[in-house]
Copies of this chain bind each other. A is one copy, B any other.
Protein backbone atom coordinates (compact mmCIF):
# COMPACT_ATOMS: atom_id res chain seq x y z
CA UNK A 1 0.00 0.00 0.00
CA UNK A 2 1.30 3.45 -0.90
CA UNK A 3 1.86 6.08 1.77
CA UNK A 4 -1.32 7.78 2.91
CA UNK A 5 0.34 11.16 2.81
CA UNK A 6 -2.55 13.34 1.65
CA UNK A 7 -6.35 13.58 1.78
CA UNK A 8 -6.39 12.61 -1.91
CA UNK A 9 -4.33 9.48 -1.23
CA UNK A 10 -6.81 8.60 1.53
CA UNK A 11 -9.76 8.99 -0.83
CA UNK A 12 -8.07 6.77 -3.42
CA UNK A 13 -7.37 4.14 -0.77
CA UNK A 14 -11.00 4.21 0.38
CA UNK A 15 -12.23 3.73 -3.17
CA UNK A 16 -9.88 0.76 -3.59
CA UNK A 17 -11.21 -0.84 -0.40
CA UNK A 18 -14.77 -0.48 -1.66
CA UNK A 19 -13.77 -1.97 -5.00
CA UNK A 20 -12.48 -5.08 -3.27
CA UNK A 21 -14.71 -5.44 -0.23
CA UNK A 22 -18.08 -3.71 -0.63
CA UNK A 23 -20.84 -6.30 -0.47
CA UNK A 24 -22.08 -5.71 -4.02
CA UNK A 25 -19.35 -8.22 -4.97
CA UNK A 26 -20.66 -10.91 -2.63
CA UNK A 27 -21.90 -14.13 -4.29
CA UNK A 28 -25.32 -13.64 -2.68
CA UNK A 29 -25.80 -10.18 -4.20
CA UNK A 30 -24.47 -11.35 -7.55
CA UNK A 31 -27.00 -14.19 -7.50
CA UNK A 32 -29.75 -11.75 -6.50
CA UNK A 33 -28.98 -9.36 -9.35
CA UNK A 34 -28.73 -12.19 -11.87
CA UNK A 35 -32.16 -13.57 -10.99
CA UNK A 36 -30.77 -16.79 -9.54
CA UNK A 37 -32.51 -16.52 -6.17
CA UNK A 38 -35.99 -17.82 -5.43
CA UNK A 39 -38.70 -15.99 -3.51
CA UNK A 40 -37.82 -17.70 -0.23
CA UNK A 41 -34.20 -16.59 -0.52
CA UNK A 42 -35.27 -13.00 -1.21
CA UNK A 43 -37.56 -13.31 1.82
CA UNK A 44 -34.70 -14.45 4.04
CA UNK A 45 -32.60 -11.53 2.80
CA UNK A 46 -35.35 -8.96 3.49
CA UNK A 47 -36.12 -10.44 6.93
CA UNK A 48 -32.50 -10.43 8.03
CA UNK A 49 -31.68 -7.05 6.60
CA UNK A 50 -34.61 -5.60 8.54
CA UNK A 51 -32.50 -6.08 11.65
CA UNK A 52 -29.67 -4.11 10.07
CA UNK A 53 -32.10 -1.33 9.09
CA UNK A 54 -33.64 -1.30 12.56
CA UNK A 55 -30.30 -0.72 14.23
CA UNK A 56 -29.15 2.13 11.96
CA UNK A 57 -31.00 4.82 13.97
CA UNK A 58 -29.65 3.20 17.16
CA UNK A 59 -26.18 3.40 15.64
CA UNK A 60 -26.74 7.05 14.69
CA UNK A 61 -28.05 7.93 18.15
CA UNK A 62 -24.99 6.18 19.58
CA UNK A 63 -22.87 8.36 17.32
CA UNK A 64 -24.63 11.48 18.59
CA UNK A 65 -23.72 10.56 22.17
CA UNK A 66 -20.08 10.93 21.08
CA UNK A 67 -20.30 14.27 19.24
CA UNK A 68 -19.67 17.46 21.21
CA UNK A 69 -20.23 19.80 18.25
CA UNK A 70 -23.88 20.83 17.71
CA UNK A 71 -23.32 21.21 13.95
CA UNK A 72 -22.05 17.65 13.72
CA UNK A 73 -24.96 16.41 15.84
CA UNK A 74 -27.43 18.19 13.55
CA UNK A 75 -25.88 16.40 10.57
CA UNK A 76 -26.26 13.09 12.31
CA UNK A 77 -29.80 13.86 13.51
CA UNK A 78 -30.87 14.07 9.87
CA UNK A 79 -29.88 10.44 9.39
CA UNK A 80 -32.13 9.36 12.24
CA UNK A 81 -34.97 11.36 10.71
CA UNK A 82 -34.40 9.65 7.35
CA UNK A 83 -34.87 6.24 8.93
CA UNK A 84 -37.45 6.89 11.63
CA UNK A 85 -39.54 9.39 9.65
CA UNK A 86 -42.27 11.50 11.17
CA UNK A 87 -46.04 11.50 11.47
CA UNK A 88 -47.46 11.48 7.93
CA UNK A 89 -43.96 11.18 6.49
CA UNK A 90 -42.75 7.61 6.71
CA UNK A 91 -39.06 6.86 7.06
CA UNK A 92 -36.74 4.21 5.68
CA UNK A 93 -37.63 1.64 8.32
CA UNK A 94 -41.31 1.81 7.39
CA UNK A 95 -40.36 1.51 3.72
CA UNK A 96 -38.39 -1.62 4.53
CA UNK A 97 -41.46 -3.09 6.21
CA UNK A 98 -43.44 -2.46 3.00
CA UNK A 99 -40.92 -4.75 1.33
CA UNK A 100 -41.33 -7.48 3.97
CA UNK A 101 -45.16 -7.02 3.84
CA UNK A 102 -45.14 -7.62 0.11
CA UNK A 103 -43.02 -10.72 0.57
CA UNK A 104 -45.73 -12.18 2.83
CA UNK A 105 -44.28 -11.62 6.29
CA UNK A 106 -46.29 -10.70 9.33
CA UNK A 107 -44.97 -7.38 10.69
CA UNK A 108 -44.91 -8.63 14.27
CA UNK A 109 -42.71 -11.52 13.21
CA UNK A 110 -40.32 -9.23 11.34
CA UNK A 111 -40.01 -6.62 14.09
CA UNK A 112 -39.58 -9.30 16.79
CA UNK A 113 -36.40 -10.32 14.89
CA UNK A 114 -36.89 -13.82 16.31
CA UNK A 115 -36.31 -15.47 12.95
CA UNK A 116 -33.08 -13.74 11.94
CA UNK A 117 -29.75 -15.53 11.75
CA UNK A 118 -27.35 -15.26 14.67
CA UNK A 119 -24.72 -14.17 12.15
CA UNK A 120 -26.91 -11.19 11.24
CA UNK A 121 -27.47 -10.23 14.86
CA UNK A 122 -23.81 -10.42 15.85
CA UNK A 123 -22.59 -8.50 12.80
CA UNK A 124 -25.15 -5.71 13.21
CA UNK A 125 -24.47 -5.43 16.94
CA UNK A 126 -20.77 -5.21 16.12
CA UNK A 127 -21.52 -2.09 14.09
CA UNK A 128 -23.28 -0.32 16.96
CA UNK A 129 -20.50 -1.44 19.28
CA UNK A 130 -17.83 -0.09 16.94
CA UNK A 131 -19.46 3.33 16.87
CA UNK A 132 -19.82 3.24 20.66
CA UNK A 133 -16.22 2.36 21.45
CA UNK A 134 -13.84 3.59 18.73
CA UNK A 135 -12.40 7.06 18.26
CA UNK A 136 -14.93 9.42 16.67
CA UNK A 137 -12.80 9.60 13.50
CA UNK A 138 -13.20 5.84 13.03
CA UNK A 139 -16.84 5.83 14.13
CA UNK A 140 -17.63 8.34 11.38
CA UNK A 141 -15.40 6.53 8.88
CA UNK A 142 -17.38 3.35 9.42
CA UNK A 143 -20.31 5.03 7.65
CA UNK A 144 -18.26 5.45 4.46
CA UNK A 145 -19.78 2.35 2.86
CA UNK A 146 -22.47 4.82 1.76
CA UNK A 147 -19.94 5.93 -0.89
CA UNK A 148 -20.63 2.65 -2.70
CA UNK A 149 -24.32 2.25 -2.03
CA UNK A 150 -25.80 4.37 -4.88
CA UNK A 151 -23.82 2.44 -7.49
CA UNK A 152 -25.03 -0.87 -6.05
CA UNK A 153 -28.66 0.31 -5.86
CA UNK A 154 -28.58 1.60 -9.46
CA UNK A 155 -27.79 -1.95 -10.55
CA UNK A 156 -29.90 -3.83 -8.01
CA UNK A 157 -33.27 -2.14 -8.46
CA UNK A 158 -33.67 -2.58 -12.24
CA UNK A 159 -32.21 -6.08 -11.95
CA UNK A 160 -34.76 -7.09 -9.32
CA UNK A 161 -37.66 -5.57 -11.24
CA UNK A 162 -36.57 -7.45 -14.35
CA UNK A 163 -35.86 -10.80 -12.70
CA UNK A 164 -38.51 -11.29 -10.02
CA UNK A 165 -42.22 -11.10 -10.83
CA UNK A 166 -43.09 -10.79 -7.11
CA UNK A 167 -41.15 -7.50 -6.84
CA UNK A 168 -42.53 -4.16 -8.09
CA UNK A 169 -41.24 -0.61 -7.81
CA UNK A 170 -43.52 0.22 -4.88
CA UNK A 171 -41.94 -2.68 -3.00
CA UNK A 172 -38.51 -1.20 -3.58
CA UNK A 173 -39.35 2.39 -2.57
CA UNK A 174 -36.73 2.16 0.19
CA UNK A 175 -33.93 2.15 -2.34
CA UNK A 176 -35.23 5.13 -4.32
CA UNK A 177 -34.94 7.38 -1.30
CA UNK A 178 -31.47 6.10 -0.52
CA UNK A 179 -30.29 7.18 -3.97
CA UNK A 180 -30.49 10.81 -2.82
CA UNK A 181 -29.78 10.33 0.91
CA UNK A 182 -26.69 8.15 0.65
CA UNK A 183 -24.55 10.48 -1.49
CA UNK A 184 -25.30 13.42 0.81
CA UNK A 185 -24.27 11.36 3.87
CA UNK A 186 -21.24 9.89 2.14
CA UNK A 187 -19.98 13.26 0.93
CA UNK A 188 -20.24 14.69 4.42
CA UNK A 189 -18.38 11.77 6.01
CA UNK A 190 -15.73 11.72 3.29
CA UNK A 191 -15.06 15.45 3.67
CA UNK A 192 -14.90 14.94 7.44
CA UNK A 193 -12.32 12.15 7.37
CA UNK A 194 -10.24 13.88 4.69
CA UNK A 195 -10.06 16.98 6.90
CA UNK A 196 -9.73 15.32 10.31
CA UNK A 197 -7.27 12.51 9.52
CA UNK A 198 -4.07 14.52 9.50
CA UNK A 199 -1.34 11.87 9.62
CA UNK A 200 -0.69 8.68 7.64
CA UNK A 201 -1.54 6.61 10.71
CA UNK A 202 -4.83 8.43 11.23
CA UNK A 203 -5.63 7.85 7.56
CA UNK A 204 -4.77 4.17 7.99
CA UNK A 205 -7.19 4.08 10.96
CA UNK A 206 -9.88 5.48 8.65
CA UNK A 207 -9.16 2.72 6.13
CA UNK A 208 -9.34 0.12 8.91
CA UNK A 209 -12.76 1.43 9.87
CA UNK A 210 -14.04 1.07 6.33
CA UNK A 211 -12.60 -2.46 6.07
CA UNK A 212 -14.29 -3.39 9.34
CA UNK A 213 -17.61 -2.03 8.15
CA UNK A 214 -17.29 -3.85 4.83
CA UNK A 215 -16.74 -7.07 6.81
CA UNK A 216 -19.90 -6.31 8.82
CA UNK A 217 -21.93 -6.14 5.61
CA UNK A 218 -20.13 -9.03 3.90
CA UNK A 219 -20.47 -11.47 6.79
CA UNK A 220 -24.24 -10.92 6.88
CA UNK A 221 -24.39 -12.21 3.31
CA UNK A 222 -22.06 -15.11 4.18
CA UNK A 223 -24.57 -16.17 6.83
CA UNK A 224 -27.53 -15.76 4.44
CA UNK A 225 -25.84 -17.62 1.62
CA UNK A 226 -24.81 -20.50 3.87
CA UNK A 227 -28.24 -20.86 5.48
CA UNK A 228 -30.54 -20.32 2.50
CA UNK A 229 -28.71 -21.05 -0.74
CA UNK A 230 -27.36 -24.50 0.08
CA UNK A 231 -30.03 -26.91 1.35
CA UNK A 232 -30.01 -28.24 4.90
CA UNK A 233 -28.13 -25.44 6.62
CA UNK A 234 -30.82 -23.34 8.32
CA UNK A 235 -29.69 -22.98 11.95
CA UNK A 236 -31.99 -24.06 14.79
CA UNK A 237 -34.59 -21.36 15.50
CA UNK A 238 -34.05 -19.31 12.34
CA UNK A 239 -36.75 -18.50 9.75
CA UNK A 240 -37.73 -21.60 7.82
CA UNK A 241 -39.50 -20.81 4.53
CA UNK A 242 -41.43 -24.08 4.82
CA UNK A 243 -43.30 -22.52 7.75
CA UNK A 244 -44.89 -19.72 5.67
CA UNK A 245 -48.69 -19.95 5.26
CA UNK A 246 -48.67 -19.47 1.45
CA UNK A 247 -46.67 -22.64 0.82
Contact = CB atoms under 8 A, between A and B. Distances in A.
B122 A219 contact: yes
A236 B121 CA distance: 21
A194 to B, nearest CB: 24
A216 interface: yes
Contacts of A29: none
A21 B235 CA distance: 8
Interface string A216-247: 10110011011100101101110000000000
Within the oligomer, what is the number of copies of this chain?
2
A119 interface: yes
Kindly state the interface size class of chain A when it binds its partner: 20 to 34
Nearest to A26: B235
B123 A125 contact: no
Interface in A156-171: none
Contacts of A121: 126, 215
A20 B236 CA distance: 7
Nearest to A212: B118
A118 B219 contact: yes
Given A27-B233, A233-B222, A215 B126 contact: no
Contact of A235 (B117, B219, B230): B219
Label chain A's interface by main secondary structure: helix
Given A122-B126, A126-B125, A129-B129, A218 B233 contact: no
A233 B225 contact: yes
B227 A230 contact: no
**Residue of A121, A129, A226, A227 contacting most chain B CB atoms (<10 Å):** A226
Given A117-B219, A118-B215, A223-B222, A27 B232 contact: yes
Contacts of A216: 118, 122
A211 interface: yes
Interface of A: 20-21, 27, 117-119, 121-123, 125-126, 129, 211, 214-216, 218-219, 222-223, 225-227, 230, 232-233, 235-237
